[in-house]
Amino acid sequence: MDQPQNRVFSGVQPTGNLHLGNYLGAIRNFVGLQDTHECIYCVVDMHAITVWQDPKELAANTREVAAAYIAAGIDPERHIVFNQSKVAAHAELAWILNCVARIGWLNRMTQFKDKAGKDREKASVGLYAYPVLMAADILVYRATHVPVGEDQKQHLELARDTAQKFNNDFEAPDFFPQPEPLIMGPATRVMSLRDGTKKMSKSDPSDLSRITMRDSSDDIAKKIRKAQTDPEPLPETLEGLEGRAGADNLVGIYAALAGKSKAEVLAEFAGAQFSVFKPALADLAVEKLSPITNEMKRLMDDRAYIDGVLEKGAARARAIADPVVARVRELVGFI
């Protein structure tokens, strides 16, 4: 079985409220890898159901993430776009890897602790095992590179450990490659617009905390205007942003949208008040996001097209994953 040197896999959960952090931390980077890598981009609906999802919304949200991928510039003809539940190999490999990964490894996962909250006993078993399914997603394609936001780094480490333990346990050196995380750009961790110390997230109860891929230009401008900052003007250097989480976040967002470094943004805006910087950021955000959100709306109205992309993508995904699972079954001793 040949091992590709540059195969990318990544996924986004269809849990609604797709936001600027998902775009700048993940989806935009997916687009940039298409010329140099063979890419597989998944809508991870099986991960989504680790917390309750209304079935009708799950279907709509799955199509929305697929539309976002395509609207952002992912080409589903050249690369693979599909939703996870259509390819049974993910679940099959996940079970085997559940028997390879150790409870001690999962107990260290900070995202589980955050998501399960205080009443951990009531969290689903799936939420706990989530990182192992993620490892299976990546390894079932023997992917070499995984573009993600910073919050996924720990999960990637677990995928690497799981790959290595599988290879050792089943005496199959190099069967699963060690997947490399690609955590790229100035916005690997976009923060809440209401609290610069918290990650921008789909589940924050405040709609003002995030810019979503459904927001109108007016919504975007309003949310940036109301973003939490401080009374000081922008500093000249990066050190001047220390201890100013809200300001740092807006500078990072500007940099990512403009394709510049934070230092370059400060060189341009040093000494400016937020009354000047925020409108400039709002204009830039609208300029960069509205072509994508408009195209997303257009695509979502064409359900047959989206469903066709997902169906064809899944068939191509199965063609890669099924032989890998067949070999895993042999290695494990299943007859």
What number of other Cβ atoms are within 10 A of residue 212's Cβ? 20
Count of residues near ligand TRP by CB under 6 A: 13
User: For residues 317 and 84, what is the distance between their CA atoms, to the nearest angstrom?
Assistant: 9
Residue 138: name its binding partner from ligand AMP, ligand TRP, none (Cβ under 5 to 8 Å by kind): ligand TRP
Q: Which residue has the tokens 């940036």?
A: 224
Is 199 an annotated catalytic residue?
yes
Is 202 an annotated catalytic residue?
yes
Torsion angle defined by CA atoms of residues 254, 255, 259 and 263, in that order, rounded to the nearest 10 degrees? 150
Question: Distance from CA of residue 138 to its chain's centroid?
Answer: 13
User: For residues 335 and 328, what is the distance between their CA atoms, to the nearest angstrom?
Assistant: 11
Minimum CB separation from ligand AMP for residue 231, in Å?
A: 25
Q: What does the block give as tokens for 297?
A: 């709306």
**What phi and psi values does residue 300 have, to the nearest 5 degrees?**
-70, -25
Minimum CB separation from ligand TRP for residue 29, in Å?
A: 11
Stretch that binds ligand AMP, among 77-85, 147-155, 172-180, 265-273 (CB under 6 A): 147-155
Closer to ligand TRP by CB, 202 or 297: give it: 202
Stretch that binds ligand AMP, among 144-152, 254-262, 304-312, 314-322 (CB under 6 A): 144-152
Q: What does the block give as tokens for 306?
A: 């989206």
User: For residues 268 and 188, what is the distance between their CA atoms, to the nearest angstrom?
Assistant: 22
Of 86, 202, 297, 312, catalytic: 202
Q: What is the 3-state secondary structure (H, E, C) of 217-231?
A: HHHHHHHHHCCCCCC
Closer to ligand TRP by CB, 40 or 282: give it: 40
Q: Is 138 in the site for ligand TRP (CB under 6 A)?
A: yes
Q: Which residues bind ligand TRP (CB under 6 A)?
A: 9-11, 13, 44, 47, 134, 137-138, 146, 148, 152, 155
Show which residues are catalytic: 115, 199, 202
What is the binding site for ligand AMP (CB under 6 A)? 12-13, 21-22, 25-26, 148-149, 151-152, 188-190, 199-200, 202
